[in-house]
C-alpha cells in the first residue's frame, strides 16, 4: 500500500512553455500532498503544501504564480511550472501523507526530471 505515482517521469521543454506534473496516490486518499524540488547534489527543498479543496501553502521564496498547484481530488495534485526557464530545471518530487503502521508519514512519488532548454 501507500503508492504514489508521478507523471511524467521526465520532460524536456523549451524556455517559455508551461509544464504540468501530476501526482497521484494510487491506493489511499491524501488530503495533503507536498511538492519538493531537488537540485543536483543538494537536499530536498519543500516548495508547497497542497491541501485538497483549498489553496496551497507556499514556502518562502517560492512564487505561487509561477508554480501553480491544484489539488482537486483526494488522489490527485498537479504542479504547473509556468513560463519555464532553464533555472527551473530540477528534480520535482511529490509526496502524500499516508500511514506507516499507525504513524502518519510521507510517501514519495518517483519524481519528475525537468529540463528546460
Partner 1 sequence: RKEVEQDPGPFNVPEGATVAFNCTYNNSASQSFFWYRQDCRKEPKLLMSVYSSGNEDGRFTAQLNRASQYISLLIRDSKLSDSATYLCVVKGGQGFSFIFGKGTRLLVKP
List interacting residues with partner 1 (CB under 8 A): 34, 43-44, 46, 49, 91, 93, 100-101, 103-111, 113
Cα 38 → chain centroid: 11
Helix/strand number for the chain, H first, E second:
0, 11
Contact residues for 12 (Cβ-Cβ < 8 A; gap 6+):
115, 116, 117
Residues 103, 1, 95: CA angle, nearest 5 degrees: 65
Nearer to partner 1, 16 or 27 (CB): 27
Task: Report the distance separating Cα 42 and Cα 39, nearest Å.
Answer: 5
- Tell me the closest approach of the beta carbon of residue 6 to partner 1, in angstroms: 8
Nearer to partner 1 among residue 82 and residue 111 (C-beta): 111
- Residue whose CB is less far from partner 1, 28 or 91: 91
Residue (75 or 109) nearer to partner 1, CB: 109
Strands 67-73 and 76-81 turn out to be antiparallel
Least CB distance from residue 32 to partner 1, whole Å? 10
As measured in angstroms, the least distance from the Cβ of 16 to partner 1 is 26
CB of 95 to partner 1, least distance (A): 8
Amino acid at each position: 500500500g501507500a503508492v504514489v505515482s508521478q507523471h511524467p517521469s521526465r520532460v524536456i521543454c523549451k524556455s517559455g512553455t508551461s509544464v504540468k506534473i501530476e501526482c497521484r496516490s494510487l491506493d489511499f486518499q491524501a488530503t495533503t500532498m507536498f511538492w519538493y524540488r531537488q537540485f543536483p547534489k543538494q537536499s530536498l527543498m519543500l516548495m508547497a503544501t497542497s491541501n485538497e479543496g483549498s489553496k496551497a501553502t507556499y514556502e518562502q521564496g517560492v512564487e505561487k504564480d509561477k508554480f501553480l498547484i491544484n489539488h482537486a481530488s483526494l488522489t490527485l495534485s498537479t504542479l504547473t511550472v509556468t513560463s519555464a526557464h532553464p533555472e527551473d530545471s530540477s528534480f520535482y518530487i511529490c509526496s502524500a501523507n499516508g500511514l506507516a503502521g499507525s504513524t502518519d508519514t510521507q510517501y514519495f512519488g518517483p519524481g519528475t526530471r525537468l529540463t528546460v532548454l
